[in-house]
Amino acid sequence: MKRRKGLAIIAAVATILTVAGCSSSGTTTQSSGSDTANLTFWSWVPGIDKAVDLWNKENPKIRVKLEMTPTGSSGTYAKMYSALKAGKGAPDLAQVEYQELPGFILENGLVDLGPLGMDAQKSKFVDWQLSQSTFNNKVYAVPQASGPMGLYYRADIFDKLGLKPPTTWDEYAADAKTIHDANPSQYISTFPPGNSAWFTSLAWQAGAKWFGLKGDTWSVNIASPETVKVAAYWDKLREAGLIATVPDFANGWYSDLQKGNIVAWPSAQWGGSIISGNAPDTSGKWKVAPMPQWSTAGKFTSANWGGSSVAVLKGTSNAQAAAKFALWLNTNPDSINLLIAGGYGWPATKSALAGSDLDKPDPFLGGQNANKAIFKASDAAINTNWAWIPTTAATYSHLNDGFAAAVAGNGTFVDAVKAAQKATVADMKAKGLKVKAG
């Protein structure tokens, strides 16, 4: 019955799908536990503990117990699904990335937040991030942050080699050769074989649209010409030995950042906190430039990497109180500044830049105010028609497997994309969904 209801919700969506948290099961959404409550919140966002502490100080009747968990894809989502299926052990609230929301919708695992205060506050959120949390005109999660992209680069190394930040991907490839020829230990960047979310953002920027929904039929078009173009581009750099292929967010990669062996990183706005936290001795040597473009003609395009929301899970006896906290967490200026300090990403609330801690020169970037100079424009240049499917996690796994095989000498990145297309269609059909291959 739960599954049938989830399928019905999914089938009702006619446009973009994204966002977190749903389940409109009677007594849960109408809970009267808004005056006093003890809530459990699962999250992995850095610095969110300080915001929770502030809430508890100001709201002694609604106490929030924060449980810091591994990132969702590292086991937390699986634990959440198991708890929801068992009907016990799930938290009242949880961090859910945008790409994972359709999966929770399919399993009927989230609470509709519209009647719990979200409908009255929708105007506070950036439209495209709000759309990531909306199904069939119902809001199922509170948007928290996104990841508009830019190019982090070692300005000192670029200057030494007489290079300017590349404005196109062709220039990026040429710079990759210049950098590696000058010092064989240095690479312009790594292609992380285990991080298909990063690759997805590059396909997004190139104009790909992997997923869609018309009526009750899903479309899957991972192996689109735009995506194949991106995969072939990185294949060429890999085959020429001009990029590294070490995993990102791993000790070897951090060491390369510290030593200057990774000279640039196409990354999200939150990437600055990753670099500064793991290569502090490189302070003052980094700057940020706009994302390289596939063509200088036409409109500037950027992309999004990452982003998540706060959802209320089905089964809570304190849905009203949980919704109240989730909204405060992501709209209160003091809370937002605490989250900014932790490096949580680009806020989902409108006008968060002006007057916040985002709008300041960054000493780590040599005094550059990259948020105002780069990421504000990047956020405005994201193609907001991107959508997700209920089996995104499996798609990422298929891509990761294919990319790892290519790095090991078995096939190419293009092969990985084509294989992921076929596997994703099979995954969707196995879920009982109607699918049309692009």
Identify whether 378 is part of a domain.
Answer: no
Is the same domain home to 32 and 86?
A: yes
Identify whether 189 is part of a domain.
Answer: yes
Identify whether 380 is part of a domain.
Answer: no
Is the same domain home to 313 and 294?
A: no
Q: Which residue has the tokens 């089938």?
A: 11
Q: Of 316, 343, 370, at which residue does a domain stop?
A: 370
Provide the 8-state DSSP code for 410: S
Is the same domain home to 265 and 402?
A: yes
Is the same domain home to 168 and 128?
A: no
Backbone angles phi, psi at 174, to 5 degrees: -65, -40
Separation of alpha carbons 265 and 410, rounded Å: 26
Identify whether 220 is part of a domain.
Answer: yes
Domain count, the chain: 2
Give pLDDT, residue 10: 53
Give 308-356 as a DSSP string: EEEEEBTT-S-HHHHHHHHHHHHH-HHHHHHHHHHT--EESBTT-STTS
Is the same domain home to 420 and 287?
A: yes
Give pLDDT, residue 192: 97
Residues 6+ apart with CB under 8 A from 257: 275, 278, 279, 282
Identify whether 377 is part of a domain.
Answer: no
Q: Which amino acid is at 405?
A: A
Is the same domain home to 295 and 313?
A: no
| 3-class SS of residue 32 | coil
Is the same domain home to 283 and 168?
A: yes
Residues 6+ apart with CB under 8 A from 363: 283, 284
pLDDT in tens, the chain (438 residues): 455 555 544 554 433 343 333 333 333 333 444 579 999 999 999 899 999 999 999 999 999 999 999 998 889 999 999 999 999 999 999 999 999 999 999 899 999 999 999 999 999 999 889 988 988 788 999 999 999 999 999 999 999 999 999 999 999 999 999 999 999 999 999 999 999 999 999 999 999 999 998 888 999 999 999 999 999 999 999 999 999 999 999 999 999 999 999 999 999 999 999 999 999 999 999 999 999 999 989 899 999 999 999 999 999 999 999 999 999 999 999 999 999 988 888 999 987 777 788 889 999 999 999 999 999 999 999 998 899 999 999 999 999 999 999 999 999 999 999 999 999 999 999 999 999 997
Provide the 8-state DSSP code for 374: I
Identify whether 343 is part of a domain.
Answer: yes
On whether the CB atoms of residues 198 and 192 are closer than 8 A, the answer is yes
Is the same domain home to 102 and 240?
A: no
On whether the CB atoms of residues 98 and 20 are closer than 8 A, the answer is yes
Query: Considering all CA atoms of the chain, what is the largest pairwise distance in Å, rounded to the nearest integer?
Result: 67
Is the same domain home to 215 and 237?
A: yes
Is the same domain home to 38 and 101?
A: yes
Is the same domain home to 25 and 142?
A: yes
Residue from 317, 130, 113, 98 nearest 204 by CA: 98
Identify whether 64 is part of a domain.
Answer: yes
Question: Six-digit token pair at 119?
Answer: 């409908």
Provide the 8-state DSSP code for 409: T
| 3-class SS of residue 354 | coil
Structural domain span for residue 334: 2-146+307-370
Identify whether 80 is part of a domain.
Answer: yes
CB count within 10 Å of CB 3 equals: 12
CA atoms within 13 A on the CB side of 229: 14
On whether the CB atoms of residues 166 and 233 are closer than 8 A, the answer is no
On whether the CB atoms of residues 28 and 111 are closer than 8 A, the answer is yes
Is the same domain home to 55 and 113?
A: yes
Q: What is the CATH classification number for the domain harbouring 208?
A: 3.40.190.10
Question: Six-digit token pair at 87?
Answer: 């009907």
With residue 68 as reference, give the H or E element that holds it.
strand 62-68
Provide the 8-state DSSP code for 97: E
Beta-bridge partner residues of 371 = none
Q: Of 370, 398, 423, at which residue does a domain stop?
A: 370
